Structure 1
Amino acid sequence: MKLPVTSYGESGTPVVVMHGLFGSGRNWMTAARRLADRHRVFAFDLRNHGTSPHVETMSYPEMAEDVRETIDSLGVGPVALVGHSMGGKTAMLTALQHPSVVERLVVVDAAPVAYPPAFVEYAQAMRAADLSAVQRRADVDAQLVEAVPTPGTRAFLLQNLILDEAGARWRPNLPVIEAALPAISGWPAEAEGLVYDGPTLFIYGGKSDYVQQDHRTTIAAYFPQVQYAEVPEAGHWVHAERLDDFLAALTPFIG
């Protein structure tokens, strides 16, 4: 499936950026604009997110194939492939299964391991919200408070709310995403035995636990040319929380 793409920049080496769970290509807008003076940047909306079509299945092999097909359709490969969280796992599997389209790989705060299932309560709270009489985003924000107590997280989730003359509705395919959460939290069996030999950079937040020291043996088995860059003051959303520090780690690697 070809994915919706937002492009930035007119010339330079191609860079594809991919968002995490409940995100969209718009999450990368500020970083992409900063990169666009030296690169052509393409922000993808992964399946069932953003403006992508709603489809009934959502696995990492399917998402990796979507990415390969979209890069091929743009005619810009091989690219520097950058992905955060779920997008980072998608980027890893794309590099492992379709290395011809990946010139170098950047993984932001994710590892090729299975994590405990997360965000189930977010999906359930979003689906349970009564949107029938919503007039303002604050109306939905109030409904999410119990399940999502952190204001910043609610604000992030509310970026997925469409509120127009037709009423209020969620942009992502929430039922399919919720059903796919165990697979999204995991790591696909299809990756076993594969190796990506290209240059690889893992950027991680010093205040996040998604990339741990004991993951490094597993990471190196898949990505033997791996380098690491820690952004000490960042949590999981590295590029949103500490953009300058994130770009300082990223730009020397992608050229």
Structure 2
Amino acid sequence: MGFVESYAAVTGNVVPLGAQEWPARRVPVAGVDLLVRDVPGAAADLPPALFVHGLGGSSLNWTSLGLLLNDTVRGMAPDLPGFGRTPLAGAAGIEEQVDVLIELIERETDQPVHLFGNSMGGASSVALAARRPDLVASLTLISPALPHPRASATALWFAAVATPRLGRVVLERTRRLPFDRRFRASLAMVFGDPRSVSPELRAAYEAELRRRDTDPWGMQATVDGARSILRSYLAPPRRSLWVDAARVECPVLLIYGGKDRLVDARIRTKAQRSFRDARLLYIPQSGHVAQMEHPEQVERAFRQLIG
């Protein structure tokens, strides 16, 4: 019996993978009670995996993929400080995220983890794997926010958010827009084809965005994250994330979407050359969150990576 069927047998409901919430707990890390979700149904003796969301995301971005892999890895996904249900504690940049993730890994397991990162979480995962190769068994990067010479219109919006004084003005004006309009724009920003999103996943995504509007720390966390990404793009070559990429020792899976409006998929060739041992999965119809939009393809590619 597969996980979806067994889940239905226990609960009496058939809930699409992307709309299922994993059990959550609080873990004290770096001075904040980090909300961490654990993939249900995974055996305790499976190798550990850590799923890292992107700017403005949360642990819920990994629901589908984690459940598909619960026979292979024992996954956990945090809401990083300032996002999801974890309050902001200090700055919310790439380096600060790396510090939090290292402490979480060391607290939760004595084995290297299979590390998954999306967008800004991908940038943080690259920095972590370069700094602490002993903690990472494999690295799966989905639309990682690595420095890119070409800027999309959406990426320029994030650059505006990162600009001192201007960032808060942009976010304040955006928040004053009707929620339905913001919701449609958010769907269009992250999904290759918003029409393909199931009604259940759409409802879960909408509920999370409505809840996020009530977070007092949300705006500051978004500004901090956008500034950190911009700084990484402008860093001198010797301190670039591309240098970190070249230092990564573990096998790497790179995943890019042809309809990604935030990360230009044309960077994928450079990315594959930059890592020592990298495979590439290009999904022409996917947007910025392939783990949500095409989880089965990501699942198959990961199984091949570690097989």
TM-score range, shorter chain: 0.7 to 0.9
Q: How far apart, in 2, do the equivalents of 1:151 and 1:173 lie?
A: 15
Could you tell me how far 1:180 is from its partner in structure 2? 3.7
Matched, 1:65 2:99: yes
Gaps of 5+ in 2: 1-29, 162-166, 190-201
Where is the helix percentage greater, Structure 1 or Structure 2? 2
SS at structure 2 position matched to 1:32: helix
Give the aligned partner of residue 138 of structure 2: 104
* CA displacement 1:120-178 (0-9 Å, x = unmatched): 67986764588xxxxxxxxx983462x66537359647514339xxxx71375312322
Question: Which residues in structure 2 correspond to 1:80-159 (within 5 Å)?
Answer: 80-114=114-148, 116-119=155-158, 127=172, 142-143=178-179, 145=181, 149-150=184-185, 152=187, 156=205, 159=208
Amino acid at match of 1:105: L
Q: How far apart, in 2, do the equivalents of 1:214 and 1:39 lie?
A: 29
Range with greater deviation from structure 2 (19-28 or 210-219): 210-219
Say whether the 8 Å CA contact 1:231–1:246 is kept in structure 2. no
Say whether the 8 Å CA contact 1:58–1:176 is kept in structure 2. yes
Matched, 1:41 2:75: yes
SS at structure 2 position matched to 1:64: helix
Q: How far apart, in 1, do the equivalents of 2:91 and 2:186 lie?
A: 30
Could you tell me how far 1:117 is from its partner in structure 2? 4.0
Q: How far apart, in 1, do the equivalents of 2:260 and 2:97 lie?
A: 25
Amino acid at match of 1:161: R
Say whether the 8 Å CA contact 1:109–1:204 is kept in structure 2. yes
SS at structure 1 position matched to 2:49: strand
Amino acid at match of 2:222: I
* CA displacement 1:28-79 (0-9 Å, x = unmatched): 1122112112210111211211122312312211111111110000024311
Give the aligned partner of residue 6 of structure 1: 37
Q: Cα 1:149–1:173, aligned 2, differ >3 Å: closer, same or farther?
A: closer
User: Number of residues paired by the alignment?
Assistant: 240
Say whether the 8 Å CA contact 2:58–2:78 is kept in structure 1. yes
Q: How far apart, in 2, do the equivalents of 1:71 and 1:214 lie?
A: 30
Give the aligned partner of residue 211 of structure 2: 162
Matched, 1:207 2:259: yes
Q: How far apart, in 1, do the equivalents of 2:209 and 2:227 lie?
A: 21
Say whether the 8 Å CA contact 1:22–1:160 is kept in structure 2. no
Give the aligned partner of residue 248 of structure 2: 196
Q: Cα 1:101–1:245, aligned 2, differ >3 Å: closer, same or farther?
A: same
Give the aligned partner of residue 249 of structure 1: 301
Q: Cα 1:35–1:141, aligned 2, differ >3 Å: closer, same or farther?
A: farther
Identity %: 22
Amino acid at match of 1:152: L
Amino acid at match of 2:83: H
Say whether the 8 Å CA contact 1:111–1:211 is kept in structure 2. no
Amino acid at match of 1:73: R
Q: CA RMSD in A?
A: 3.2
Give the aligned partner of residue 232 of structure 2: 187
